[in-house]
Amino acid sequence: MATASRYPAPGDMSGAPFGDPNLKLAILSSLIDKQLIDLGTPQQLAEHVLGRPVDLENEGYKPIPAVRAYLDRYPLSTDLLSQIDELVLDGGSSIYRYVWFFWDGEDNIFDINSLAGITHCPNIKSLDLTSMIGTVDLRDLLPPFKIETINAGIALENIPALLDMPSLRSVRVLDDQLYADVTTPGHPNRQVMEVLKARGISVWVHWVSSYDENRAAYQ
């Protein structure tokens, strides 16, 4: 069983300092991946929280509410949050197995509805937005963020905000609507991408589904 010293006492507010507890889970996953926090194994965390032996082969087929409640209130210092340089939103992130060991990705239990509070991670430079959120408003990630790379498989709102990201080096997006926009001469979003390319920024936009599989990426 894991030692208690690995697990700080939980705070008072669920999700703090973020508006959406599911965003906090994504942030915790980044901290785990960067080895800035250590939650042990999913079994060790569950045993610590529940105070008893846990067999995830039997108990891991549904969420463990007590573990979720602990993670929602896991204390995050300003120093920890300042060390996050990448925001990863992906159903394969390591954190989800702690809450629901055999989660198959088919449930929306971990969907993120808001990026409120993301300013508590001021040093994010890379966005890897594969899933877990329907849309991201790029205005939420303007300076003082220093965004350098964006890889997205979701819808992005307010594309012109890309022009106001002075550190931007690369944009890669999989999205049918944006692909339609940037392959339409004169469309405002195409004009944005043309300006980015003129600045030397790498741009790649591809469709997700199409009747014509030979349609090339916009780049």
Instruction: Note the pLDDT of residue 3.
Output: 39
Sign of the four-CA dihedral 212, 213, 214, 215: positive
Instruction: Note the pLDDT of residue 106.
Output: 85
Instruction: Note the pLDDT of residue 212.
Output: 77
Record the pTM: 0.90
Residue carrying the six token digits 């906090």: 24
- pLDDT (tens place) for every residue of the chain, 219 residues total: 433 358 999 998 999 999 999 999 999 999 999 999 999 999 999 999 999 999 999 999 999 999 999 999 999 999 999 999 999 999 999 999 999 999 998 899 999 999 999 999 999 999 999 999 999 999 999 999 999 999 999 999 999 999 999 999 999 999 999 999 999 999 999 999 999 999 999 999 999 987 777 899 999
Instruction: Note the pLDDT of residue 5.
Output: 53
Instruction: Note the pLDDT of residue 105.
Output: 87
Measured in degrees and rounded to the nearest 5, phi and psi for residue 89 equal -115, 105
Instruction: Note the pLDDT of residue 12.
Output: 86
150: left (phi over 0), alpha (psi -120 to 50) or beta: beta
Instruction: Note the pLDDT of residue 213.
Output: 79
Residue 144, preceding bond cis, omega within 30 degrees?
yes
C-alpha angle with apex 166: 164 to 171, nearest 5 degrees? 80
